[in-house]
Amino acid sequence: MAASLVSLLAAKEMVLVCGSGGVGKTTTAAAMGVAAATHTRGRVLVMTVDPARRLADALGVGALGNDATRVPDDAFVDAGVEPHGELWAAMLDTKAGWDELIRRHAPDAQLRDSVLANPLYQNITSRFVHSHDYLAMERLHELHTSGEWDLIIVDTPPSRNAISFLDAPGRMKEFFGSRLLKWLTVPYRSRLFTMASKPFYQVADRVLGSRFLQDIAEFFILFQTMEQGFVRHARQVERLLSDPRTTFVVVSTLEAAPTHEASYLARALARRELPLGAIVANRVLPRAFTAKAAGTSARKLGKAAGGELAPRLAGELGTDADAVEHVLGELSERFADVAIVATREAERQAELSELAPMLVTIPVLDRDVNELSDLAELARSFT
């Protein structure tokens, strides 16, 4: 078992970062990249799906594209960190990714062009078999086999189900093997299509109109010629996910819903026998807020505010005693709110720590993450 997140990163070649929306998954993935490049030699790539433009700015790479861009060493130096390795970043571009896949798998140029020119192509690729998930997995495989990277950190796509990307390769295989695809394409190919014999067609045709079905069928007939390439790749991607060099990191905040989702994710990974390396709890309030001493002081502060304390402090600060009394009273009252939240967080943290070999907390920051130095600060929690 690794002792820290940094040592886990050093021991792996691929890290899949998952979690529900809004927990800071992309930022955490970037901070992990910074941590890895700071502490280990080698080439580290962070592949993100949808970064805030400011995150790209923070990494000092301007706009991220499908091609990897190197974070300049100067940016590290400006952030007060000395990198031992190289940090690169890339963004997953679904459209460009699909075009590339079609180009790679198409048996000939004519077919390639027919697919790319099919009126339904764009619409279909952006939707079917969770194409975003599939592409992310494809890209990961491609990057890994390129041998150019020592560590690849993937910020997984946001989706309805945070682990649906795991099913993407299997779904692609199933898709090509499905009787449905054959049903849909064979009749149009053989031209011996008797609708009456197939209730499905009869209904579908009536509902959707035959022209529409035919458009779809045409697309899939073209697409089917690429079956071999896609299926072979899907198998390789599946193998890669369960490879011992791969690990998963679940990111969450300690709010109710994200915690729930994180524990679901952790269990789902365990069920699939996929290795969960760590859970990262983001934006955690200081544990001191739950300490008994703090609660006691806050209560006493409320009581003392109306007594001697306010005038004494006011004298010391050269200000009005009423104002001090008001502030002390408010401090006392409001602290109780924060303490409740911190206590809940502590409970949820305990719950999550049961589910992973390592639980790492990132303290709440008093600012947004705007610069590499902010990522470097987050990364300090990983050592």
Partner 1 sequence: MTSQVEDLLLDRRLVFVTGKGGVGKTSIAAALAELAARSGRRTLVCEMDAKGALADALGADALEFEPREIEPNLFGMAMNTEDSLREYLRLFVKVPFLGKIGPLARTFDFVADAAPGVKEILAVGKLCHEVRERNYDVVIVDAEASGHIVAQIGAPHVIRNLVQVGMVRDQTDWMLDILHDPATTAVAIVTTPEEMPVNETLDLVDRLEDETGVAPTAVVANRVLSSWFDDDEMQLVSALGDHVDLLVEAVGKGAATVVAAAHIAEARRAIGAGHLERLRTGLRDAVGDVPMFEVPELFTRATGRRVVTLVADALESAEAT
Minimum CB distance to partner 1, residue 42 (Å): 30
Minimum CB distance to partner 1, residue 199 (Å): 5
Q: Which of residues 19-38 bind partner 1 (CB under 8 A)?
A: 20-23
Minimum CB distance to partner 1, residue 309 (Å): 5
Question: Residue by residue, what is the 3-state secondary structure of the chain?
Answer: CCCCHHHHHHHCCEEEEECCCCCCHHHHHHHHHHHHHHHCCCEEEEEECCCCHHHHHHCCCCCCCCCCEECCHHHHHHCCCCCCCEEEEEECCHHHHHHHHHHHHCCCHHHHHHHHHCCCHHHHHCCHHHHHHHHHHHHHHHHHHCCCCCEEEEECCCCCCCCHHHHHHHHHHHHHHCHHHHHHHHHHHHCCCCHHHCHHHHHHHHHHCHHHHHHHHHHHHHHHCCHHHHHHHHHHHHHHHCCCCEEEEEEEECCHHHHHHHHHHHHHHHHCCCCEEEEEEEEECCHHHHCHHHHHHHHHHHHHHCCCHHHHHHHHHCCCHHHHHHHHHHHHHHHHHHHHHHHHHHHHHHHHHCCCCCEEEEECCCCCCCCHHHHHHHHHHHC
Among 3, 190, 244, 367, binds partner 1 (CB under 8 A): 367
Q: Which of residues 47-66 bind partner 1 (CB under 8 A)?
A: 52, 54
Among 74, 330, 347, 354, binds partner 1 (CB under 8 A): 330
How many residues form the binding site for partner 1 (CB under 8 A)? 75
Q: Closer to partner 1 at the Cβ: 175 or 382?
A: 175
Q: Which of residues 238-257 bind partner 1 (CB under 8 A)?
A: 256-257
Confirm or reject binding of residue 123 to partner 1 (CB under 8 A).
Answer: yes
Binding mask 64-103 for partner 1 (x = CB under 8 A): ----------------------------------------
Confirm or reject binding of residue 326 to partner 1 (CB under 8 A).
Answer: yes
Among 129, 163, 237, 352, binds partner 1 (CB under 8 A): 129
Confirm or reject binding of residue 128 to partner 1 (CB under 8 A).
Answer: yes
The number of angstroms, rounded, from the C-alpha of 301 to the middle of its chain's C-alpha atoms is 43
Confirm or reject binding of residue 120 to partner 1 (CB under 8 A).
Answer: yes
**Which residue matches tokens 């994200």?**
258
Q: Closer to partner 1 at the Cβ: 9 or 328?
A: 328
Among 31, 216, 281, 356, binds partner 1 (CB under 8 A): 216
Q: Closer to partner 1 at the Cβ: 202 or 242?
A: 202
Minimum CB distance to partner 1, residue 320 (Å): 9
Q: Is 154 left (phi over 0), alpha (psi -120 to 50) or beta?
A: beta
Confirm or reject binding of residue 186 to partner 1 (CB under 8 A).
Answer: no
Piece in contact with partner 1 (CB under 8 A), picked from 37-45, 117-125, 145-153, 237-245:
117-125
Q: Which of residues 264-293 bind partner 1 (CB under 8 A)?
A: 285-286, 288-289, 291-293
CA distance 50 to 29: 12
Q: Which of residues 146-185 bind partner 1 (CB under 8 A)?
A: 158, 160, 175, 178, 180-181, 184
Residues 172/129, Cβ–Cβ less than 8 Å: yes
Piece in contact with partner 1 (CB under 8 A), picked from 85-93, 136-144, 227-235, 316-324:
316-324
Q: Closer to partner 1 at the Cβ: 9 or 184?
A: 184
Minimum CB distance to partner 1, residue 31 (Å): 15
CA distance 281 to 349: 8
Q: Closer to partner 1 at the Cβ: 124 or 136?
A: 124
